[in-house]
Every structure is written in C-alpha cells, then in structure tokens.
Chains A and B, each alone.
Chain A
Amino acid sequence: MKFNSWFVSSFLISLIVLIPVITVFASFFEATSNYYEILKNTFLIEYIFNSLTLLLSVLLLTFMIGTGTAYLVSFYEFPGSNFFKWALILSFAVPPYIYAYSLTAFFENYGTAFTILKNLFGEANYNKNIPKFDGMFGAILSISFSLYAYVYILARASFLYQSQNLIDLGKNLGFSRFKSFFKVILPAARPAIVAGLSLVAMETLAEFGAVDFFSINTLTTGIYNSWIYFDDLAFANRISFFLLLFIFSLFILENLSRRRAKYHFNSKGGFKQKEKIKLFGIEAYLAFGFCFFIFFVSFLFPLSQMLYWTIKFPENLFDLKITNLILNTLYLVLLSSLVLIIFSLISNYGNRVSNNKTLNFLSTLSISGYAIPGVILAIAFITFIAWFDDSIIKSFGFSSIKKIFIGSVFGLVLVYFIRFYSLAFNGIKSGYEKMNISVDESAYLLGYSKRKTFTNIHLPFLRNSLLFIIILISLEIIRELPITLILRPFNFETLATTAYISASEDLLEAAAVPSLFLILIASLFIIVTSKYILRENHE
C-alpha cells in the first residue's frame, strides 16, 4: 500500500465525512434523560407511525406524478410538451417548507382563496367551504409537489433511452398503448424509478421544515425537539440511530437500483431513437391539462402566492434587509461550493492516480453523508465537537474550541461539506469515468507531469461537470434549512432561515419575501442547468 500525499488527503476527507455517522453509533449506548423513558412509552410509536404514513403517501404521490408526467413528455408530442419537459423540474426551486407556507396562506381562513372569492362574488362566509390543507395531508402535498421531480428526472431519462425496438416489440405482440405502458415501458424503467423514489424517501424522512410547520411529530422533528427543548443530545442521537438504520437500507436499495439502471442507459448497440407520437384533439388537451396542472400546482401556485404577498406587504422587503439575506445566502453558497469542489477534486484525483482499494472503499463510505438528514448531521457534529473539546482539548489544557466550530460560518460550511460531499464527489467521479485512464497515461508519455496532466487535460475536460456540480450544490444550500438553523452564527440569517423563523412566528406574510427570492434564485440555477439535468445533449 502506498501512503503518498494523495492517499493521506483523501483518507482525511473521508474521515471527516464519516465523523457524524460514527458519533451517532457511539452515542447510542450513552445514558439519556428521563425524556427518553417518557417518550419510549408514549410518543415514539407516534413518531414512527407518522414518519411511515408520510413516507408511504409521499412515495405513492410522487410515483404517480413523476412517472405520469415523464411518460407524457417522453413519448408524446402535444402543445407545450417541449416547454414542460424542463418546466416540470422547476418544482425543485420550491422547498417543501415554502410550499407548506403557500398552502396555508392560500387556504386558511380569510386567506388568499377567501380574498379571491370575495372579489369575485362579494362578501360572504366562504371559510367553511374552503378546504383546509394542513396537518398530515398538507405535509404530504407539500413534500410530494416539491420532490416528485426526482422521480420525473430519472424516469424520463430512462424512458428517453428506451429504444424504439422495445416499443416496436410491444406493438408487434399486439399490445395496446395502455398494455405497452404497463408491460414494457414501466418494467424497463423500474430501476430508474426505484432510484428516484429512494431519493424521495430519504428526503422525506429527513424533511424538517414542512413537518415542523404543520406540527407533525416525526422522527426528524423528534430529534430536533429533544435537542432544542429538552437539551438531550444523547437522546437525539438515539432516535437518529433508528432513523439512520432505516435510511441506510434505503441508501443501499437506491445504490443497487442505480447500478442496475445503468444498463438501460448503455444501449449503444441496436439503439434506435424513438419518434414521439403526436397527440390530437381531446388526447392532446388531456396531456396538456395534466402537465399544466402539475406545473401550476407545484411551481406557479407557490410562486404567485409568495409574489402576491410580497406585493401586498412591500414593507417586508425593507424590514427584512433582503439584500443582506441574499448576500449571506450567496456567501455560504460560494464558500461551500469552493471548498466542496476543491476537496472533491483532490479526493477524486487521489483515487485516480493511486488506484488504492482501501481508498476507494473509504470514498464509498464517505459519500453516505447525503443520506443522513441535516438535523442528525448538525446534532452529531455538535456532539462530536463537545466530546472532542471536553475529552481531548481541555485535558491538554488548551482553551475551548467550541466557538470555532459551533455557531460559526466555518462549522456551518464544514457540515454542509459533510452533507453535500457525495454530490460533488460523485459528480466529479462520473466526469472522470468518461475519461479512460489511458488518457492520463498518454499524457505522461507525451512528457506531461502529473500536475500538467491535471491542469491541461483533466480540468478542461471536467469544466462542464464542475459548473453543473457547483450549481447543484448551490441549489441544495439555498434550500437547506435544519443545518443552517442549528449551526448558523448569531445574527446571521439566510433566505431559508428567515422564511422559517417568520413562519414559525405566524408571520407568513413576512416569510413570503425571503421565500420569493429563494424560489427566484433557485429557478435561475435550475434553468441554467436544465440541459444537464435532462441529459439533453444525448437526445
């Protein structure tokens, strides 16, 4: 085994990312307060039940929306089909918590729906006739409309790569369009859809903002509450342990599905690009209607709601110092992207040049950070720093280091790093995978040093991948809530935290301004990258 500098740096990066997981597992056996005993006999069952109800309902809804829309835009041509194929991913710009604010704002007593009805039909008591989308149902809708794009993107990619031969085969066997979908198209795309659903499942279990807003007690809010209200880190870690076990099984499932999904993309031999079927008349209207409904409900609706309130209460624009919020958000985005890109490049390059099995294994473990809910990461990080400070630093007589890591931009960026490392690492890795190792060797044989190979060959080749990864990371960080909420410095607010704080203080109108800007910035990032997200260049 070669212990060169690449190995050491990659090893250290992997270790940092693994710290929270190790901390959660180590804390499982620690003593906790009485709260654990009380909770074990009372709320724990409710937490698990709520988490499961939420999970299953969101999976069902995202499957139907994601697969349905992906099928329509991949196989048929109808008015707006080219627009919808990328517009449908704009729902990513609306985090579940902002969707939850919009739902409540629109349907609550004397809310936007009430105002619209009053303006249209005059004064009356409309409140009793306006449905209420709150509680568990509201949370399910908010999460589903925000996350269905995971299923949409992966299902669409899989549908897109289904060869015409496969479709022709169905026709040849005399299948109807309906039967073809269920017997040929859907089974062939199954691994991709399962991969998309696994991502939705992980995000749903990790979801904090929306469920907290609707006061649903899930395992994630349980972790947050046991730390915030009962100051019981050990118990928070204990619930985290259960949640992690569950999430890791999903993570493994997702990885397995993704591996199998690859076969559907590598259909080079005999691949025949399929022609889209043109829809006419009522069929065209139905297809348009369905896609427009989803686009409207998932994106236009929350955007208009937030825009409406921003215009209605313009004073919030000034009260909230929106420029500061945007700058703070972008500051975190820039700093984190830079750190993530640099370290992921080091790690990937280290793996490539050293080709060490131990290092490859460590890298695989370290990308698990993305599967861990932000709440758990933040709390495990605090637990670790507290332990490290008390047991190691203070025992050597040094002054406390807690301030450096907790409640500081440094600590925040470090935990973002752990959470989003897999995005950056995998993005660069898949870029590198497109370049055969013999390309490096050719460069050496042309007299290029390792450094020159990296700067003259690798970096220009990876340029597009890097841009895409930066935007993907930015999108995640702009929307991120629990880590920022727990670890941000005092008086340092971002668009997401301000929206959350205003909403939790029942000031939804004030939450609208940061939410609107958050949606706009995220949409901009999505539009820029939609070509990559949709694998458009392969179409």
Chain B
Amino acid sequence: MANDPNVFEYAPAPESRSIVDIKPSYGLFIDGEFVDGHGSAFKSINPATEETLAEIAEADDADVDKAVKAARKAFRTWSRMPGKERSKYLYRIARIIQERSRELAVLESIDNGKPIKESRDVDVPVVAAHFFYYAGWADKLEYAGLGPNPQPLGVAAQVIPWNFPLLMLAWKVAPALACGNTVVLKPAETTPLTALLFAEICQQADLPPGVVNIVTGAGATGQAVVSHPDVDKVAFTGSTDVGKAIARAIAGTDKKATLELGGKAANIVFDDAALDQAVEGIVSGIFFNQGHVCCAGSRLLLQESVADEVMAKLKRRMGTLRVGDPLDKNTDIGAINSAEQLARIRALAEIGEDEGAERWSPPCELPSAGFWFPPTVFTGVSQAHRIARDEIFGPVLSVLTFRTPSEAVEKANNTPYGLSAGVWTEKGSRILHMADQLRAGVVWANTFNKFDPASPFGGYKESGYGREGGRQGLSAYLKADTKAGA
C-alpha cells in the first residue's frame, strides 16, 4: 500500500474465536450423556495451523454396542411418539442451531479449515434449514408417498465425512429423527468437534436420551457401527472405496442402505452462456470448500469456440481468490483438511503434469504452517488423463473442450461417477435437453453447488444410491406400513 497508492490491500479481518469454548478432551455421547471411550484417544487438529484442538475419545466395539443398545431402547418411545411431538424437538434443535450459529461456524472453520464466510453463510444456515424442513415433515409422513401409515426403520447407523461435518450430520440426523428412527452417528476423525457440540445442543433441547448417539473414532469405529447386528439402516457419505466395503459388509443382511459417494462432475459451458456468470459458477464449482465437495464441478467442459475467452476470464478471476486464514472474513479458500488429503491432491496434480497437461495457479502466498494447496487449473486435459477420471477432492480443475452438444453429453457421462453436473447456456431448451441426457443425480443450470433441504440429492453409478433431502429423502428412513389396509 505504501508504494502504490492505488493498491487496495484488505487489512486482516479475523472472526474472533473467543465465542467458542473448546474443551481439552471429549468423550462419547451415549444415551444422552458424555462418557469415556475405551479405545485409544486421538487428537483433532486445526488444519490451518496444525495446533492440537482437543483429545477425542475412540469408541471400541463395546462402546458402539452400548450406543446401539441406547438407540434401540430410545427407539421404543421415540418411534411411538406422535409426529407433532417429534417435530417440536426438531424445531427446537433448529432454533438452537440458529442461536448458536456463530459458535458453530467458528468451530467448523477451526476444525475443518473452511473459510468462515462459507461456514457462516452456507454450512450453518443450511444445517438449520434442514432441521426446520424435516421438522415440518414429522407429522405429515402419511403424505410421503409411502402409504397411509409409514413406519420408521429402527436404529440408523450413520457415518459422515469431513468435508461438511455439521451439514452432513444434519442431512443424516434430521430426516432420521423426523421419521421416528434413532441414530448412532460417527463423525469423521479429523472433524468431530461440531458433532460433539451438536450433542450438547441435543442436551440443551432436552432430546430424550439415546435418540442421538455420537461415537467418535476412525475407520474401525465406523466399521463397528455399520456392521453392528442390531442396526436396521446404514447411511454413509464418503469415498466410493469405503462405500463399496460397507455394501459388502451389509450384503446378506436386511439392513437398508443409502450411500452418497464420490463424483467427478462435468461443468459444461456452451458458447451462448452468460460468460461472466459462468466463470463465477466455475469458480464456486471447484474452489468452494477447497474443492472438498463430492459434487464439485471438477471437470470443466468448454465449447471450443469460447474456450480461450473463458480461460482468460477464469485465470483473471482466480487471481483475485484470497487463500489463507480460514477465520479471516475475506478468505475465499481455506486450508486443506488433513496432511493425508494434501498428499493425495499433490500426488494427483503431479500425475497431471507427468501426463502432459498444463498446470497453472495464480501467484499466491501460502502460509508456512498448516496444509495448503493453491487454486489450480489444468488445461489440455483429455478423457485419458487420470485428472479427468479420478476424484481429486481438492482445488484442482481439469479443463476439457468439446465442439457439439452431443460431444459434451458423451464426455460428461464418460465417467464411473454420476453425482452432479452443470450446464451454462442462455438457451432454455438446451438446458432441458442436457438435463435429460446427463446421467447425474443433480443437474444445475446456470448455477452450481446450490443446496436446499427441499431438493433431493444423490448419485448414479459409483456415486452411490438413495436420495437425501426433500420428500424423497424420507423414503430412506421409512418403510411402507405392511398392516395398511388390513
């Protein structure tokens, strides 16, 4: 600023972390109380600084068994409670989430590394919206399309990922509870803190003990939760590999399952698109949440006639992205969630270079501590490149080109995944045509990464099965009443 009077430097504008009180250690939340775990405790760290935030209990098989038993016991009363009574609890939880939204947002950013602007403006508001939405369904389940008196499934085992810790919790817990199920939830080992704060919110809302149980731990704990014999339903969001392992583990049982897995979404820009807004959509599609989004628009498909123009605009726009302290209100891209994930992103980016794609990042200074990866774009990518096929789950965009709408469809669908896709055109008929052709659970038109509790979400092919959100999301937690009509 001193040298060039024209340069407008934004001074640091950090959100205060004093609003949230992180305890030195956390137990498991079983039957309405925090109890010690019997596995070996692990640490949750702040990925932006690598400081240890808290020591977290690990649930062993016996702890998981206790949690499932508590959930089973609570199921007897919770499932028989009139829907309008259950909805009161859910409304109460939703309101407490709103009241404590700043606390939740700050904690989410500290534990996960995502920018406060996203946790504050996206994650937490959508979490509250999800609880409000399903609270409204609790006494209207006969209109869910599953017969006059649909029944809950029982105990739901829910395993959620680290990219949207609290939001994925809401996607799982809200519909399960609304439908009369009880849950045993395992948050990701790198991001358990907001789930544990949610446990406190359940206490604050006087939720009956055992309706929500939260067991922390890594893969082994997750495995114990989903393979517990007294679990009726498994809901998982995470990698395709783990999803397949879960599907194998529950094969032959009568457990119902919904799996929301990986993605390699095509974001397709036609030459008649509103280009400036398309560039914004490309940026939010891949750089939102550091690209740690299963439905991220990680494959950009540009019509050749506008490819150069869009790339020039995109690069200029990427130059304005601010990478750094997640708690700074002006940060656009925060920290990568873990050393492990950073290593994976680096490895795939190197493969991209080795395979001959051209790598570009805007000049940006990365903090010395913590896990960081600059926003990166690869051009000259073809379908044969691994960066066009593998889910990178980071701020890395692969750019391909196409000439005609049918070529765009072929390339977009030529992936083992099918979670989401984006279409950018000012031509309404083309949007409808593309949406019809694309094999993806969500097709966004002239926008990207928009989430609403009323809108179902889920994938085709290796992106999983079942739907979450909306009326469709209820069927994952209900069965038609077999006695109906008797």
The answer to whether A and B interact is no
Q: Which residues of A contact B (CB under 8 A)?
A: none
